[in-house]
Amino acid sequence: MAGNTIGKLFKLTTFGESHGKAIGGIIDGCPAGIKLNLEEIQNELNRRKPGQSKIVTQRKEPDTVEYYSGIFEGVTTGTPIGFVIHNTNQKSKDYSHIKDVYRPSHADYTYDKKYGVRDYRGGGRSSARETASRVVAGAIAKQFLSKIEINAFTSSVGDIFIDKPYQDLDFSKIESNIIRCPDEVSAQKMISKVEEIKKQGDTIGGTITCVIKNVPVGLGEPVFDKLHAELGKAMLSINAVKGFEYGSGFCGAKMKGSEHNDLFNEDGTTKTNLSGGIQGGISNGMDIYFRVAFKPVATVIQKQDALNSAGEIVEMQGKGRHDPCVVPRAVPIVEAMAALVLADYLLLDRVTRL
């Protein structure tokens, strides 16, 4: 109820602060009999890891996941999967300067007002470090999804965006550059942009597009738990996300019905896909695609004003090891959240009919 669980049947509950002993989670409801490839899970985690390239934070953390339960001889047993990632690089002293200070556009102020007490080190529970647990769980979910393919990629950084439909992109190239953009020309511009922003001691926002292929028809639970509503919630729960649109999205709001309707082919597929693979909250077998907006990281290296707990405005300066742009490291997080939702809805769909 306090919000640390996602999923109805395939359920993930996470715990952990950025500078506590460990972060981790429990997956309850993972079906029995899945032969897990543990290396692939660690690979996903490595895609999210700090220090992986010159355009992300230079903190170094091994982020090695350990499994405590639920897997026996490499196979899921149907019992809860408890897993842990130990925090090894806390350097708590780094954070004494923010002990009584609320940084602008961070969660310091709201946590303090809500709970009356907080682990202020590195953002504590509000740190995006928590998303590492999501990546682990999402990577396990992916291994349950069989033929469903989930690909996310950076579709814009600042005002630089890919000006092609996703159908013209080669997703196998997503990992070929450090910004995780499958269009090489745009990728290079984006990387230059981030480097330039980084030099300024500033940060920049961006968007991630996610495309899900081979989704069976019938996933989704109307009316409140429509498939896109749950995907939207999952994405909006990621740190720094400000918007979500699927299919035609905000552009669709400018269109006419006669333009927007997706006419059928005889096999039930549609000639166009402005619906984004979901109709009435239920997947129709076409590609599901959506776009997620990330604001610029709030920690800037430039000096700026902050508020302290005594109600005084104080000057502060961010320290050196933050992401100038969150988007490249958020790509695996978006995929993980999509995988968690789809795994859950695949299970939910099993009880639809007699």
Binding residues for FMN, as ranges, are: 125-127, 239-240, 280, 295-299, 321
Question: Judged by CB, which is closer to a copy of itself: 165, or 223?
Answer: 223
Smallest distance from the beta carbon of 132 to a copy of itself, in angstroms?
12
User: What amino acid occupies position 146?
Assistant: S
Question: Judged by CB, which is closer to a copy of itself: 153, or 244?
Answer: 244
User: What amino acid occupies position 315?
Assistant: E
Total binding residues toward a copy of itself, as defined by CB under 8 A: 151
Q: Which of 54, 60, 99, 113 binds a copy of itself (CB under 8 A)?
A: 113
Smallest distance from the beta carbon of 41 to a copy of itself, in angstroms?
16
Question: Judged by CB, which is closer to a copy of itself: 21, or 170?
Answer: 21
Which residues 253-272 are close enough to bind a copy of itself by CB under 8 A?
253-264, 266-268, 270
Pairing of strands 241-246, 206-213: unpaired
> Contact 47/55 with Cβ under 8 angstroms?
no
Give one word for 136, left, alpha or beta, with left for phi > 0 and alpha for psi -120 to 50.
Answer: alpha
Could you give the CA distance from residue 96 to residue 206 in angstroms, rounded to a whole number? 31
> ∠ CA(188), CA(193), CA(197), 5° rounding?
150
Residue 14 Cα to chain centre, angstroms: 14
Could you give the CA distance from residue 175 to residue 195 in angstroms, rounded to a whole number? 19
Q: In angstroms, how far is the first alpha carbon of the chain from the final one?
A: 31
> ∠ CA(44), CA(327), CA(156), 5° rounding?
125
Q: Which of 31, 173, 188, 213 binds a copy of itself (CB under 8 A)?
A: 31
Smallest distance from the beta carbon of 77 to a copy of itself, in angstroms?
5
Question: Judged by CB, which is closer to a copy of itself: 131, or 151?
Answer: 131
Which residues 193-252 are close enough to bind a copy of itself by CB under 8 A?
197, 200, 202-207, 217-218, 220-226, 228-230, 232-234, 236-237, 239, 242-250, 252
Tokens standing for 345? 């809805």
Could you give the CA distance from residue 140 to residue 36 in angstroms, rounded to a whole number? 7
User: Rule CB under 8 A: is residue 122 a binding residue for a copy of itself?
Assistant: no
Which residues sit in the known binding site? 48, 54, 125-127, 239-240, 280, 295-299, 321
User: Rule CB under 8 A: is residue 100 a binding residue for a copy of itself?
Assistant: no
Q: Looking at residue 92, what DSSP letter applies? A: G
Residues 289-308 as x/- pattern, contact with a copy of itself by CB under 8 A: ----xxxxxxxx-x-xxxx-
User: Rule CB under 8 A: is residue 21 a binding residue for a copy of itself?
Assistant: yes
Smallest distance from the beta carbon of 172 to a copy of itself, in angstroms?
25
Which residues 143-202 are close enough to bind a copy of itself by CB under 8 A?
144, 156, 158-159, 197, 200, 202
Question: Judged by CB, which is closer to a copy of itself: 170, or 314?
Answer: 314
Could you give the CA distance from residue 105 to residue 240 in angstroms, rounded to a whole number? 10
> Contact 17/148 with Cβ under 8 angstroms?
no
Could you give the CA distance from residue 92 to residue 20 in angstroms, rounded to a whole number? 9
User: Rule CB under 8 A: is residue 61 a binding residue for a copy of itself?
Assistant: no
- Residue 231's nearest CA partner among 159, 336, 318, 155 is 336
Could you give the CA distance from residue 334 to residue 240 in angstroms, rounded to a whole number? 12
Smallest distance from the beta carbon of 351 to a copy of itself, in angstroms?
4
